[in-house]
Amino acid sequence: MPTACSLVQQGYGRGSCITRVNGKKALACEATLREEGESISRLIESIHLSRPENYLSIYQSGCNLSCRKCHSWYFSKVARGAWYSPPEIALLCADYAKRVTLREPRDRATAWHAHDACRCCGGCVLSGKRPPRCPGILASSDIVLSPQGFGPARNIVGFTGGDLCCKPDFYAECARLIKEKTELWILIETNGYGLTPEHLNLLREAGVDSFWLDIKAFDDEVHTWLTGCSNREILALPEEMLKYLSQRLEIPVARVYHVATFYSAFSLVPRGEHLIKVCVGTSCHVRGAGRILDALENRLEIEAGQTTEDRLFTLETVNCLGACALSPVVVIDSKYYGDMTLTKLDKLIDEYYKVGAEANAR
């Protein structure tokens, strides 16, 4: 039987999740994650000190997005590697901790900060000479050779490659055991698709220190084409997450709220599958935008700023769309519909309902 999807159970959409096993398609959580009683294990392609991140990277097979291509596609979308349990991962991390040459504070437990200390050229080791761009922070004795080149060994372990944060128990158990055995910071490189508030709380309590959020695309249409699923949940920041970010970043919640509300890509509530924007600027207003908005509110049984109960539509108003010659203008997702009339509007909404019904039937 298919694995119960924790995202669906929490009211979110399932990821695209397809991984190939012996030439056949399977759900990533079934092909690359084993749960037997209280034990859990993950299919891992390799574990080594990576460059230029300069930390211990755990390259996972299987992912909850089906990207058309990525640098880890050959193992994130194809099941391959060896099975590792959290205790085995923790033992490897404990061994790595003995070889750490650069200890970073927790707020630098990122890939971003890696080059502040070393450019990974190996010059100080190979020739005894430092290039002009060398930060000059580390001694040559701090530079070690890994399968990907020279650099320091930072006190960080990162989960990378395929992403199954939608099934967070493996990460949580690894984090607990790593924290018991080491003082390493724990980083999860993630596409964000499994980072629900429930999962974030679980990972935080287990000891995860930071996330590398790799958003594939901000435009929902582009994201869907690239990955096989929408990015609406990734960009939706619920109110409790703003407070959570404020506490973790130690900045006023008003500042976090300002960023979340200033950029239209973000939303404080989950949006529907289709985002409808009605221009109410001067040109559209004088040509009947008010009637268009009223008709939409009546048809969808919501007001501007709300989402339909079936989460098919979210309705918003904007002050200008830069298409005054086409007024009144309605935009659905990224497609512009100009010279809108009530008759054209009814037909347009009917078409979107039809497409939605056909998709659900499949």
- Check residue 324 and give its pLDDT: 85
- Tell whether 228 is covered by a domain: yes
3-state secondary structure of 87: helix
Sign of CA dihedral 189, 191, 196, 199: negative
- Tell whether 1 is covered by a domain: no
- Check residue 91 and give its pLDDT: 97
- Tell whether 247 is covered by a domain: no
Residues composing the chain: 362
What end-to-end distance do the CA atoms of the chain give, in Å?
Answer: 19
> In this structure, are 105 and 14 located in the same domain?
yes
> In this structure, are 202 and 327 located in the same domain?
no
- Check residue 240 and give its pLDDT: 61
- Tell whether 171 is covered by a domain: yes
pTM > 0.75:
no
> In this structure, are 137 and 58 located in the same domain?
yes
Domain of residue 338 covers 274-361
Q: How many domains does the chain have?
A: 2
> In this structure, are 298 and 182 located in the same domain?
no
> In this structure, are 161 and 288 located in the same domain?
no
CATH number at residue 336: 3.40.30.10
Alpha helices in the chain (DSSP H): 6-9, 28-31, 73-76, 86-97, 123-126, 169-181, 197-206, 220-227, 232-235, 239-249, 253-262, 282-286, 289-300, 342-361
pLDDT reading at 237 higher than 70? no
Domain boundary among 182, 210, 235: 235
> In this structure, are 294 and 196 located in the same domain?
no
Cα torsion through 15, 19, 25, 26, rounded to 10: -70
- Check residue 254 and give its pLDDT: 76
Q: Whole-number mean pLDDT of the chain?
A: 86
What does the block give as tokens for 216?
């594939």
- Tell whether 240 is covered by a domain: no
- Tell whether 242 is covered by a domain: no
Q: What is the pLDDT of residues 327-351, one digit of tens each?
A: 999 999 888 999 999 999 999 999 9
Exposure string of 194-213, with b = 16+ CB inside 10 Å and e = fewer, is bbbeebbebbeebbbbbbbe
| φ/ψ of residue 153, rounded to 5 | -110, 105
> In this structure, are 198 and 306 located in the same domain?
no
Q: What is the pLDDT of residues 55-93, one digit of tens each?
A: 999 999 988 888 887 778 788 888 999 999 999 999 999
pLDDT-derived band at 1 (thresholds 50, 70, 90) equals very low
CA-to-CA dists, residue 158 to 17, 188, 231, angstroms = 21, 6, 23
User: Is 58 within 8 Å of 93 (Cβ atoms)?
Assistant: no
- Tell whether 245 is covered by a domain: no
- Tell whether 103 is covered by a domain: yes
Alpha helices in 3-62 (DSSP H): 6-9, 28-31
Sign of CA dihedral 314, 259, 254, 321: negative
| φ/ψ of residue 8, rounded to 5 | -65, -40
- Check residue 2 and give its pLDDT: 45
